C-alpha cells in the first residue's frame, strides 16, 4: 500500500510536492547561507584585524638589563614570529639650519631600531624620501625643521650637550598612536597624543647617543620589545580577543616587576568585536525575516492541498484505515518533501557559496554546523507543514470544519484579544525606550573584553512587523467582508458584468485571499526593507568615504612639494569633471595644534559634495557664501568652539607658519560659523578659512591638497593622477572606491554586499513564489469551481475575470501593503541600527532599480500563474470535471 | 412541422484511456423537440452522461454529426438556451443561493439588477426564498439540488439536461425534487432530458431512451 501511495503522490501531486520541496529548499538554503556568512564574516574580521595591527604587543621593560629574561618569558608564554628591541628617548627638541634660518622644535622622541625592524614591522613606518635605513625623520618633523636627506639635525638631549646626526630619509608614521602609546595606563584613560617631533636612529647609534642620557636621566630613556605573536587564533573576534588577553596575562605573570605589556592586538580585536556584534545583529535583522517568510510560504504551499487531503483521509477512514496507517501514508509525503527540500537546499547553498563567498571553505566547523542545523530545520519544517495538519485533521475534525476557508468564519483568538494592537503599542513603547538610550544596540564598554548585544532593541521592529501584519489581516478581513461594493467597483474594469459576483466570491474566500495578500506583503516588505536599508547603508558609506577621502580622487602632499604646482596638468587629465585646490596647514589655536583648510568657498562644491549636514544650521550654501564675503572669516569645529567658548563674530588670533621665516605668526580671523565635518578633515578639531587669505598671510598660496571630481571611474583617474605627481616627494593619490573598501567603517569587514545580494536575490524569489505559486496553487484548488462555471456557460473572458480579479487583488493589495510595511521596517532598522551608520542618514535611499525588478518578478509570476490556469479553459469543461 | 432543438445523426464517442480505446456511444440517432420529457435510462457506464454532454455541447462527438436547429450554434447554447443539472454538488461554494441562481443570467450578460430580480422570482416560485442568503455549505443535500434546479430554470432555457439529479438523494427527497422540477415546467415548451436510474422518475416522462453498452434504444414515445 505504501508503494502504491508513494507512486500516486509522485504521479498525481507533482505541483504541490514541488512547491513544498521548493519552500523547504529555500528555507534550508537561506538559513545555511546566513550561517555561513556569519561564520565567514567573523573569521574575516579577525583576520583583517590581525593584519592591520603594526605590532601585536609592546612590552615596556622596567630596566634594560631585564631584556634577556623578558625575551625568554615571551617565548615561554607564546610562540612568536618577530621580536625587536626598541629604544625610546625623550629629547628637549631638535634644531636644524636650512636656507639661512634656524628651526627649533619643541620636545620630541628619538627611537632606536634595528636594521631588521622595518622588515618585521612594515606597518610602523612608510618611506617617503631618501633611504629607508639610517637616520630617519618623521614627515611632520621634516616639515617643521625644513630638512631633507643630507641635512644635519642637532638633537637636544636631556641633561647632556646636543648631538648631531645627518638625515638619511624622511618617513611617515601611520601608526604613531600605537607606536608611542603610554603603556600601563588604566583602561579608559584619555589617549595620549603622539609626539610632534620624531627621529629614528639605528640602534647602535641610538645607544651611543642615549646611553649616556640613560645614565644621567634614566627617567627619559626606556626600552620596549615589539612582538608579533604566532597568529593561530580562534576565528571569532570575541574568542580571539579573549585568547590574546589570556596569553598577555600569562606573560605578565611571568615578568612581574620586569615589564608591562601593551596589548595592541587585543585592543584592536576588542573594537572589531563590537563590529562583529553589529554584523551579527545585521544578519539577524536582515536575514531572519526572510527565513520566517520561507517557513510561512512552505506552510502555505503545504496547506493549499488541505481540502484534497481531508477528502483522501475521509475515504481512507471509510475503508477502515487506522490512524496509524493514515499518518504513515502522510509521512511518505512529508519524507519526500523533507528529503527533496534538504537536498535541493544544500545544492542551492553550495551554488550561493560559490557565487557570493568564493575562496571561503564551506567545510569549516561552523559552516558544517549551520548546514546540519539548516537541514534539521528543513526536516522539522516538512513534518510541521504536512504531518502536523494531517494529525490535527484526524484528531480534531470539528476544529477543521470551523477553519473552513469559505464561510462566514469566526474571529481568531488573536483578534478577540486585540493582539495586533497590543504588539503595535509594545513596539512604539520599545522604540521610544531604545531611542531614549541613543539606539545603543551593541554595548562595548571600554576595557571590557565582552561585547553585548542589547536584544531588547529587537523587540520594537519585531513587534512592529508582527503587529502590522496582524493588524493588516484584521483590516483586510474587515474590509473584504464589509467593502464588497467598493471591491466590485474596483474590479469592474476586469470583471465587468461579473464584478458583483466576483467580489462576493472573493469576499467569502477572504481567509484565503487575505493569506495570499499577507504572504505577498511579507515577501515585498522583506525585499523593500532589505533593499532600502542596503541602499541607505551604501549611500552613507559613500558619504563617509567621500568625507574621508575628500573627493572622488584626492592628491595630497606637503607645502614643500604641493600638488597645486601640478594643477594645470591634473586639470588636463581625461576623466576630470572638476578640480579644486585646498590648503591644509597646521595652526595653533592657543596651545593646540589644529588642522586648517583653506578653500575657495564659491567653487569648492564643484569638486566635492558639501552637504548641509556639515554645518550647524544645516545650510551649506549660506555658510560658504558668508565665508566668501568675509576674507578673514573662519569656520570652527564644534569641539573647538566648545573648548574655547567662542561666540559668532568673535575675533580670534591664530598662529600660522610663514613661508618666509618658517616661524609661527599671529593672524587675526573672525569666527563666522560652526562646521561639523569637512572633506579630509579629522572628526574632532579643525578650521576652515579662505584660501586667498591664508595664502596672503603665510606668504604661500600653495595647496597641499587637490580635490578632483571624476567623470567616469575614479580609480582610473587616480591612476592617471599618480603619474602626474610621481615626481613630487611624498605626494599621495587616493580614490573614493578604494577608501570606501578599506576605511569607512569597521563594518566593511562584514561582507554586507554579499549578504545583501544574497538576501535581495532570495527576496525576489520569495516575492515571485508568494505571488505566483500561492495564486497558482489556490487556483488549482478551485479548478472544480472554474470547471462548473465553464459547464454553466462561462466564456473564457468570464472565467478569466474570476482568475484575474483574484490575482490582481492579491498582487496589488500585497504589494501596496508590502511597500508601506517595508518602508516602515527600513525606517525603524535605520533608527535602531544607527550605530552602523557614520554619519547617520538624513533620509532613506530608495533603490528604484531593484524595486522595478521586484515588481517585474511579482507581476511575471502572477501572470504566469494566471496564464497557466487559463490554459485549463482550453480543455472541454466536462473533461476537466471528470479529471477532478 | 416543429423544429427540433437538437438532432444527433449516427453519433459515436470513443474515449482513450492511455492506449486503450473505450467506446462510450455507438451510432446514436435521435432528436429532442420543444416540450419533450425524455428519460434516459440504463446501467452505469452505458453512455447516458456522454449523450447528455454531447447534446449540451459540453463535449465533441468522435463520429457522426450533431446540430441544434432550434437553438443556434454550439457556442451560443449555454447558459441561456441550454441548462445543465449535475448529479454532484455543483453550486459554487463562495456564492450564496441567490448569487448561484443569478450566475447563469450574469454569464448571459443580463443586467445585474434584472438578473437578481429573476433569480429571486425563481427562488420564490420554488419556495426557496428563505434560504436565498445561505451558502451552499449551509444547505442539506436536497436543498442544494433544489437550488441547482432553480439555477437551471432561472434563465428560462429551451432545453434542460439533467444528469442523474437525484442520484445522491433518498427516494422521497428525489421524488419531491422531481415534483418541483416538473411543476416548474408545467405548461412550458422547455424540453427536459433526464438521465436516471430511478424507474419511478423515468415513468413520469413521455419518452424513455434505453441505453446499453453505448447503444440507444427508444422504448416508449
Count up the domains in chain B and report the number: 1
Averaged pLDDT score across all residues of chain A: 83
The residues with which A156 forms a beta bridge, in sequence order, are A93
Among candidates A92, A88, A96, A95, which has minimal Cα distance to A108? A92
Cβ of B86 within 8 Å of Cβ of A788? The answer is yes
Residue A530 cell numbers, joined: 532589505
- Mutation for B interface: A406, A791, A793, most B CBs within 10 A: A793
d(CA A346, CA A27): 10
Question: In this complex, is the C-beta atom of A505 within 8 Å of any C-beta atom belonging to chain B?
Answer: yes
**Which residue segment(s) compose the domain that B169 sits in?**
6-220
Residue B203 lies in a domain: yes
For the residues A172-193, what does the mean pLDDT come to? 71
Q: How far is A376 from chain B (nearest CA, A)?
A: 40
Cβ of B95 within 8 Å of Cβ of A505? The answer is yes
- Closest partner residue to A501 (CB to CB) among B53, B59, B99 is B99
For the residues A715-742, what does the mean pLDDT come to? 84
Dihedral sign, CA of A441, A445, A451, A454?
Answer: negative
pLDDT per position in chain B (221 positions), as tens? 668 899 999 999 998 877 788 888 988 899 999 999 999 999 988 889 899 999 988 888 999 999 999 888 888 888 889 998 988 778 998 899 999 999 999 998 889 899 999 999 999 988 888 999 999 989 988 889 889 999 999 989 999 999 988 887 788 888 888 888 888 888 889 999 999 988 888 988 989 999 988 888 876 54
For the residues A819-841, what does the mean pLDDT come to? 80
Q: Which of A4-18, A707-721, A734-748, B6-20 has the least mean pLDDT?
A: A734-748
pLDDT at residue A764 above 80? yes
Q: What is the CATH number of the domain that holds B29?
A: 3.40.50.300
pLDDT at residue A758 above 80? no
Residue pointed to by grid coordinates 513596539: A427
- Mutation for A interface: B50, B106, B135, B137, most A CBs within 10 A: B106
- Mutation for A interface: B73, B107, B111, B139, most A CBs within 10 A: B107
Residue pointed to by grid coordinates 528604484: A848
pLDDT of residue B190: 92
Cβ of B95 within 8 Å of Cβ of A879? The answer is no
Chain B's closest residue to A797, CA to CA, is B107
Cβ of A406 within 8 Å of Cβ of B135? The answer is yes
Q: How open is the CA angle A854-A860-A866, to the nearest 5 degrees?
A: 140
pLDDT at residue A627 above 90? yes
Residue B166 lies in a domain: yes
Q: What is the DSSP string of B24-35?
A: EEEEEEEEE-TT
d(CA B201, CA B39): 8
For the residues A296-300, what does the mean pLDDT come to? 82
* pLDDT class of A364 with cuts at 50, 70, 90: low
Residue A747 is classified by DSSP as G
Residue B210 is classified by DSSP as E
Helix intervals (H) in A681-795: 691-698, 714-725, 736-742, 752-768, 774-781, 783-792
pLDDT of residue A783: 77
Cβ of A793 within 8 Å of Cβ of B104? The answer is yes
pLDDT at residue A281 above 80? no
d(CA A246, CA A691): 53
* pLDDT class of A404 with cuts at 50, 70, 90: very low
Max CA distance (Å), chain B: 52
* DSSP E strands, A506-620: 553-556, 576-589, 592-599
pLDDT at residue A439 above 70? no
* Angle separating helix axes A2-12 and A14-52, nearest 10 degrees: 80
d(CA A624, CA A603): 10
For A773, other C-beta atoms within 10 Å of its C-beta total 24
- Closest partner residue to A792 (CB to CB) among B93, B103, B109 is B103
pLDDT of residue A461: 83
Cβ of A508 within 8 Å of Cβ of B94? The answer is yes
Q: Name every residue in B having a CB less than 8 A away from some CB of A.
A: 53, 58-60, 77-80, 82, 84, 86, 90, 92-96, 99, 102-104, 106-109, 111-112, 135, 137, 151
Torsion angle, CA of A538/A542/A543/A549, rounded to 10 degrees? 160
% of chain A residues with pLDDT over 70:
89
* pLDDT class of A642 with cuts at 50, 70, 90: confident
SS3 content of chain B, % helix, strand, coil (to 5): 35, 30, 35
Residue A768 cell numbers, joined: 515571485
d(CA A630, CA A622): 13
pLDDT at residue A134 above 60? yes
Give A234-268 pLDDT, tens digit per residue.
888 888 888 998 999 989 888 888 888 888 888 88
CB A468 within 8 A of CB A424: yes
Cβ of B135 within 8 Å of Cβ of A408? The answer is yes
Cβ of A791 within 8 Å of Cβ of B109? The answer is no
d(CA A571, CA A565): 11
For the residues A613-633, what does the mean pLDDT come to? 90
Question: In this complex, is the C-beta atom of A798 within 8 Å of any C-beta atom belonging to chain B?
Answer: yes
Residue B17 cell numbers, joined: 484511456
Question: In this complex, is the C-beta atom of A852 within 8 Å of any C-beta atom belonging to chain B?
Answer: no
Element (H, E) at A622: helix A620-629
pLDDT of residue B68: 92
Give A597-621 pLDDT, tens digit per residue.
999 999 999 999 888 878 888 788 9
d(CA B129, CA A256): 101
Which contacts (CB < 8 Å, 24+ apart) does range A823-828 have?
A823/A528, A823/A529, A823/A532, A824/A464, A824/A468, A825/A461, A825/A464, A825/A465, A825/A525, A825/A529, A826/A528, A826/A529, A826/A532, A826/A533, A826/A536, A828/A431, A828/A460, A828/A461, A828/A464
Residue B1 lies in a domain: no
Residues contacting A827, CB < 8 A, separation 6+: A844
Helix intervals (H) in A219-263: 237-254
Residue B197 lies in a domain: yes
For A150, other C-beta atoms within 10 Å of its C-beta total 9
- Closest partner residue to B94 (CB to CB) among A498, A509, A798 is A509
* pLDDT class of A398 with cuts at 50, 70, 90: very low
Residue B133 lies in a domain: yes
Residue A733 is classified by DSSP as E
Q: How far is B154 from chain A (nearest CA, A)?
A: 12
ipTM: 0.90
- Going from N- to C-terminal start, the domains of chain A cover 1-55+235-257+264-404, 80-229, 559-728
Give A499-512 pLDDT, tens digit per residue.
888 999 888 888 88
pLDDT at residue A399 above 50? no
Residue B114 lies in a domain: yes
pLDDT at residue A174 above 70? yes
Q: Which of A178-187, A284-293, B178-187 has the least mean pLDDT?
A: A178-187
d(CA A517, CA A476): 9
Amino acid at each position: 500500500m505504501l508503494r502504491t501511495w508513494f507512486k500516486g503522490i509522485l504521479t498525481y501531486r507533482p505541483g504541490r510536492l514541488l512547491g513544498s520541496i521548493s519552500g523547504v529548499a529555500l528555507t534550508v538554503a537561506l538559513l545555511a547561507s546566513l550561517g555561513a556568512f556569519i561564520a565567514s564574516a567573523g573569521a574575516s574580521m579577525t583576520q583583517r584585524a590581525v593584519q592591520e595591527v603594526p605590532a601585536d604587543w609592546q612590552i615596556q621593560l622596567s630596566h634594560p638589563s631585564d631584556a634577556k629574561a623578558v625575551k625568554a618569558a615571551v617565548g615561554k608564554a607564546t610562540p612568536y614570529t618577530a621580536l625587536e628591541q626598541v629604544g625610546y628617548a625623550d629629547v628637549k627638541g631638535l634644531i636644524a639650519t636650512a636656507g639661512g634660518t634656524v628651526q627649533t622644535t619643541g620636545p620630541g622622541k628619538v627611537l632606536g631600531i634595528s636594521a631588521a625592524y622595518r622588515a618585521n614591522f612594515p606597518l610602523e613606518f612608510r618611506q617617503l624620501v631618501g633611504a629607508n635605513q639610517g637616520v630617519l625623520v618623521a614627515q611632520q618633523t621634516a616639515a617643521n625643521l625644513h630638512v631633507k636627506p643630507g641635512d644635519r639635525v642637532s638633537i637636544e638631549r636631556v641633561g647632556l650637550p646636543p648631538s648631531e646626526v645627518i638625515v638619511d630619509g624622511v618617513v611617515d608614521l601611520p601608526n604613531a598612536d600605537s607606536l608611542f602609546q603610554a603603556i600601563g595606563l588604566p583602561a579608559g584613560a584619555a589617549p595620549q597624543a603622539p609626539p610632534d617631533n620624531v627621529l629614528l636612529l639605528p640602534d647602535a647609534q641610538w645607544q651611543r647617543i642615549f646611553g649616556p642620557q640613560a645614565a644621567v636621566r634614566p627617567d627619559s630613556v626606556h626600552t620596549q620589545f615589539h612582538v608579533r605573536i604566532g597568529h593561530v587564533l580562534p576565528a571569532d573576534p570575541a574568542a580571539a580577543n579573549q585568547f590574546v588577553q589570556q596569553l598577555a596575562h600569562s606573560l605578565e605573570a611571568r615578568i612581574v616587576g620586569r615589564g608591562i605589556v601593551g596589548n595592541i592586538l587585543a585592543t584592536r580585536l576588542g573594537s572589531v568585536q563590537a563590529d562583529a556584534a553589529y554584523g551579527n545583529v545585521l544578519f539577524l535583522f536582515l536575514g531572519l525575516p526572510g527565513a520566517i517568510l520561507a517557513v510561512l510560504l512552505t506552510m502555505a504551499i503545504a496547506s493549499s492541498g488541505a481540502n484534497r487531503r481531508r477528502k483522501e483521509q475521509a475515504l481512507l477512514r471509510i475503508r477502515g484505515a487506522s490512524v496509524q496507517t493514515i499518518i504513515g501514508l502522510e509521512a511518505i509525503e512529508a519524507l519526500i518533501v523533507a528529503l527533496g527540500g534538504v537536498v535541493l537546499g544544500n545544492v542551492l547553498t553550495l551554488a550561493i557559496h560559490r557565487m557570493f563567498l568564493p575562496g571561503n571553505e564551506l567545510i569549516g566547523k561552523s559552516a558544517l554546523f549551520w548546514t546540519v542545523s539548516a537541514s534539521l530545520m528543513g526536516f522539522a519544517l516538512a513534518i510541521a507543514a504536512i504531518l502536523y495538519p494531517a494529525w490535527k485533521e484526524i484528531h480534531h475534525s470539528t476544529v477543521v470544519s470551523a477553519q473552513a476557508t469559505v464561510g462566514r468564519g469566526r474571529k481568531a483568538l488573536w483578534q478577540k484579544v486585540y493582539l495586533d494592537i497590543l504588539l503595535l503599542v509594545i513596539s512604539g513603547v520599545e522604540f521610544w525606550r531604545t531611542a531614549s538610550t541613543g539606539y545603543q544596540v551593541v554595548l562595548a564598554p571600554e576595557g571590557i573584553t565582552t561585547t553585548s548585544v542589547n536584544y531588547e532593541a529587537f523587540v520594537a521592529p519585531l513587534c512592529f512587523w508582527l503587529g502590522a501584519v496582524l493588524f493588516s489581516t484584521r483590516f483586510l478581513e474587515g474590509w473584504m467582508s464589509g467593502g464588497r461594493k467598493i471591491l466590485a467597483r474596483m474590479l469592474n474594469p476586469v470583471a465587468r458584468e461579473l464584478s458583483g459576483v466576483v467580489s462576493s466570491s472573493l469576499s467569502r474566500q477572504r481567509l484565503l485571499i487575505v493569506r495570499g495578500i499577507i504572504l505577498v506583503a511579507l515577501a515585498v516588505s522583506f525585499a523593500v526593507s532589505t533593499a532600502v536599508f542596503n541602499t541607505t547603508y551604501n549611500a552613507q558609506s559613500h558619504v563617509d568615504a567621500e568625507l574621508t577621502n575628500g573627493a572622488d580622487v584626492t592628491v595630497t602632499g606637503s607645502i614643500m612639494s604641493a600638488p597645486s604646482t601640478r594643477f594645470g596638468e591634473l586639470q588636463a587629465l581625461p576623466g576630470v569633471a572638476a578640480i579644486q585646490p585646498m590648503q591644509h596647514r597646521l595652526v595653533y589655536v592657543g596651545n593646540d595644534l589644529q588642522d586648517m583648510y583653506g578653500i575657495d568657498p564659491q567653487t569648492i562644491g564643484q569638486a566635492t559634495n558639501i552637504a548641509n549636514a556639515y554645518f550647524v544650521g544645516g545650510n551649506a550654501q549660506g555658510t560658504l557664501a558668508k565665508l566668501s564675503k568675509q576674507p578673514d572669516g573662519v569656520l570652527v569645529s564644534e569641539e573647538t568652539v566648545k573648548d574655547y567658548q567662542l561666540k559668532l563674530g568673535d575675533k580670534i588670533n591664530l598662529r600660522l607658519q610663514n613661508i618666509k621665516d618658517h616661524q609661527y605668526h599671529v593672524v587675526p580671523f573672525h569666527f563666522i560659523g560652526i562646521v561639523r565635518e569637512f572633506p579630509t578633515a579629522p572628526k574632532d578639531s579643525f578650521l576652515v578659512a579662505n584660501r586667498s587669505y591664508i595664502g596672503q598671510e603665510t606668504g604661500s598660496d600653495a595647496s597641499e591638497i587637490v580635490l578632483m571630481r571624476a567623470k567616469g571611474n575614479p580609480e582610473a583617474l587616480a591612476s592617471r593622477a599618480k603619474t602626474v605627481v610621481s615626481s613630487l616627494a611624498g605626494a599621495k593619490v587616493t580614490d573614493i572606491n578604494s577608501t570606501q573598501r578599506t576605511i569607512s567603517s569597521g563594518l566593511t569587514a562584514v561582507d554586507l554586499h554579499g549578504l545583501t545580494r544574497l538576501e535581495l536575490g532570495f527576496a525576489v524569489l520569495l516575492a515571485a513564489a508568494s505571488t505566483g505559486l500561492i495564486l497558482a496553487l489556490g487556483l488549482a484548488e478551485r479548478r472544480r469551481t472554474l470547471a462548473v462555471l465553464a459547464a454553466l456557460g462561462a466564456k473564457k473572458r468570464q472565467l478569466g475575470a474570476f482568475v484575474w480579479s483574484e490575482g490582481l487583488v492579491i498582487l496589488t493589495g500585497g504589494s501596496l501593503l508590502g511597500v508601506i510595511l517595508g518602508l516602515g521596517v527600513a525606517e525603524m532598522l535605520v533608527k535602531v541600527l544607527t550605530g552602523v551608520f557614520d554619519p547617520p542618514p538624513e533620509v532613506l535611499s530608495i533603490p528604484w532599480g531593484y524595486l522595478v525588478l521586484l515588481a517585474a518578478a511579482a507581476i511575471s509570476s502572477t501572470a504566469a500563474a494566471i496564464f497557466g490556469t487559463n490554459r485549463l479553459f482550453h480543455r472541454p469543461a466536462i473533461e476537466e470535471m471528470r479529471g477532478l | 412541422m416543429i423544429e427540433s432543438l437538437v438532432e444527433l445523426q449516427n453519433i459515436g464517442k470513443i474515449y482513450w484511456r492511455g492506449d486503450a480505446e473505450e467506446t462510450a456511444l455507438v451510432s446514436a440517432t435521435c432528436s429532442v423537440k420543444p416540450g419533450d420529457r425524455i428519460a434516459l435510462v440504463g446501467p452505469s457506464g452505458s453512455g447516458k452522461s456522454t449523450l447528455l454532454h454531447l447534446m449540451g455541447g459540453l463535449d465533441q462527438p468522435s463520429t457522426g454529426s450533431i446540430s441544434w436547429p432550434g437553438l443556434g450554434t454550439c457556442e451560443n447554447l449555454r447558459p441561456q438556451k441550454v441548462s445543465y443539472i449535475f448529479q454532484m454538488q455543483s453550486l459554487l461554494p463562495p456564492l450564496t443561493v441567490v448569487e448561484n441562481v443569478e450566475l447563469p443570467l450574469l454569464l448571459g450578460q443580463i443586467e445585474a439588477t434584472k438578473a437578481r430580480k429573476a433569480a429571486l422570482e425563481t427562488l420564490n416560485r420554488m419556495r426557496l426564498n428563505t434560504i436565498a442568503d445561505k451558502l451552499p455549505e449551509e444547505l442539506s443535500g436536497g436543498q442544494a439540488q433544489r437550488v441547482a434546479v432553480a439555477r437551471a430554470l432561472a434563465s428560462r432555457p429551451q432545453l434542460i439536461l439533467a444528469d442523474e439529479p437525484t442520484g445522491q438523494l433518498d427516494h422521497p427527497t428525489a421524488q419531491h425534487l422531481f415534483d418541483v422540477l416538473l411543476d416548474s415546467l408545467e405548461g412550458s415548451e422547455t424540453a427536459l432530458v433526464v438521465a436516471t436510474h430511478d424507474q419511478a422518475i423515468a415513468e413520469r416522462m413521455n419518452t424513455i431512451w434505453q441505453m446499453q453498452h453505448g447503444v440507444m434504444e427508444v422504448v416508449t414515445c
